[in-house]
Structure 1
Amino acid sequence: MNQHDHTALPAEIEERLQGHPPGARQRIAHLWQALGAAEDAPPAAPDTDAAWADLQARLSPAPPTPATGRAAAPAADRAPVRARPARRHATGRATGRTAGLALLALAMLAGLWGWTRPVTVTVPPGTRHHLDLPDGSRVELNSGSRLTYRRGFASLPGRPAEERRVSLHGEAFFDVVPDGRPFVVETFNARIDVLGTRFNVRAWPGPAQPETRVTLEEGRVRLTDPAGTSALVLSEPGQTARLAATGPAPVPAPVPAVPLPDALAWRQGGFVMNREPTPAVLAEVQRRFGVRIEVDDALTLADSTSLTYWRAAPVETVLHDFCLAQGCRYRRTSQGFRLIPAEPPLFSPDRR
C-alpha cells in the first residue's frame, strides 16, 4: 500500500510558491493529488519458486549426446518464464513528480514575469499608428512617438489595476472610453487625468521646445505638475494648456485657444506650426518625414516660423516654403537636407 500523502506538497515546492497568490498554491496542490492518484498500482509479488527452478535449469549443463558429445539443446516444450517489470521505488516516483511540478512552477513564474512586463508601441519617423487599448480606448500616435502601458490594464491576470495608466513620449490623440477607473497619461514632466474624453497631448523632452501641451476636443481633463502641487482643468473644446520643463518651479498655464483643425492637422497628414520656435519646427519636420536636417554655420534663422498644410505635403514642398520665409535655400545630402544661406542677387552690391 502506498504510504505517501498525495495532498501534501513537498517542502521544496512550498518554498517556490511562497509569495504567490493562494490560488496558485491550490491549483498545484490539486495537480499533485491527481498525479498521485494516477500512479500505477504496484505489481504482484514474483513467483520465486518458478524463477529459482528456471535459474537452476539454465545454469546446469545439459548431458552430452552420445553421437556428438555436444550438450543437448534445451527442451522445446519448456515454458518460457515471463520477465516481470521491476518494482519502481516510491522515492523515485516522488522525485520525478517533484521535478515535474518544479518545472510547472517555473513556467508559471515565467508567465507572471512576462505578464508584468509593460507593452511598448514605438512609431518610426515618417509614419503614424492607430492603437486600440485594452479598455477599448483608441490612440493615434504621431511620427517618432512612443506609448507604454501595463498589459491588459491589470496588476495581475484577472485583477484590473486601480487606474488605466499610459506613458507617452511624443504626440498622440486619445479617444478614451469611460469604465469607472481614472485614465492617466504621464509624460516626461506632466500628468493628465481624464474620465472619458477626446484630447491631444504633445510632449517632446528635447532641447527645442521641452514642454507638455494638451488640447481638449471634448470632455474634461486635468493637467498636473509631477509633484502634484498645481493643476489646471480644461473643460471647453479648443482649450489648450502647457507645462514647461524649464524654470525653477514650472506650473500648468493656459495658452490662447488653438483652432482644433490646427492642433489636429497631423492626424490627416497635415503640418501646422503657428509662430513656433524655429528649432521646434525643424525637429518636427525631421520626425514627420524621417530625414535629417542640418543648418549651415553661416546661416542665421529667425526665432519663430509659421507653416500651414491641411493635408500631407512632400518634404521638399515644406522646405521650399520654410526657406522662402527664412530667406535661405536647401540642398540634398546623403542623409537628408542642409539649409544654407541664399545666394545674393545677381546685381547686388556684393557682385559689383
Structure 2
Amino acid sequence: MKAAWYEKTGAARDVLIIGERSDPKPAAGEVRVRIHASGINPSDVKARAGARGSIPFPYVIPHSDGAGIVDSVGEGVDQTRIGERVWTWNAAWQRADGTCAEYVCLPARQALTLPDNTDFDAGACMGIPGLTATYGVFSDGDVSGKTILVTGGAGAVGHYAIQLAKWGGAKVLTTVSGAAKAEHAAAAGADVIINYREQDVAETVLEATGGAGVDRIVEVEFGGNLAASNAIIRPGGTIASYGSMADPNPAIPFYELMFKNVNLRLYLVYLLSEGVRASAVGRLTDALEAGALQHSFAKSFPLDDIIAAHELVESGKAIGNVIVTI
C-alpha cells in the first residue's frame, strides 16, 4: 500500500517518507479500512515534530482521523461490516499505524458508521475536532436555553462547537482574532462575535448578556483566558477546556470559582471513557444525520504533498481543516 510515515521526529521535509508498505491484515477484533480521506490535526504535526517526545515504534504512519470503507474484517467481527462507510478515532494514538495510508487496521469499535449525508472529507474531521467540540458543548447535558461562549470560534473545534451549541438551542458567543475569522464564525451561526485583539472579552460578554455572564465556556486556552472566564461564568456554570498552550500551568482562583460552584472539565479527547465517548458519538451522529453541521476545509492535498499539508497546519494560517486524500 502507498503510505506516508516517519522513522524519527523532526521537520516535515526532513523526516516524512512517502512510499510503499505491506498491506496490513486485520487481527481478531479488527477491521481494515480503505482510507479515502485522512485529517491532519495540530496534535499530529506536534507528534511528528517531536513535541511529544521520541517515537516508541520503528516507524509511525501519522494521523488519528480518517474516513473510508471497511474492506476486510478479522476474526470475531461481523462480516456485514464489509462495505460500511466509516470514520476513525485514535488511529495513531499510542499506535504505529495511523490513517495516512491506503489502508489502516484498527479495533472495530474505532471505526464508526459515517452517515450517508456526510462525505469522506467531513468524516475525516470527526475523531478529534468533532468529538472535542461535542464533549465540550454537551459535557453537562442539554444546552437548550443556555448561553455559551466558544473561544477560538474560527478553529476546527470552535467552528463545530458553535454549530453544535446552536443546534442544541443555545445562544452562542465566540472570540476570534481578526475579520476573516469573524466571518468564518458568523457563517457557523455565532450570535455575538468578539475580536479579542480589539475588545475586552469579559466586558463585552457581560454587556451582551445583560451582566449575567455565560452558562458554559468551551475553552481552547484555559490559562490565558482564565481571568476573563472567572469574571463571566455564571454560578453553577461549566468551563470545559481542551487546551492551555499560552499558560500551561495557570494559578487557579480556587475560592472565587468554588463559591460560584463552577465545574472545571479539563479533557483530552483521546482519553474519553467508553461511556462518555459513546454519548458524544451519539450526539455528533444525530447532528450529522440532521444536516446540522457545515464542514470547513482550508485545503485538500494528495498524499504525495503530505509535507506541504503538514507545513500548512504548522503555520497556523489555515482557516478550516486540512485533509489528505488517498
Greater share of residues in helix: 2
* Larger relative contact order (CA 8 Å, sep ≥ 6): 2
After TM superposition, the score normalised by the length of structure 1 is: 0.25
Larger Rg: 1
After TM superposition, the score normalised by the length of structure 2 is: 0.26
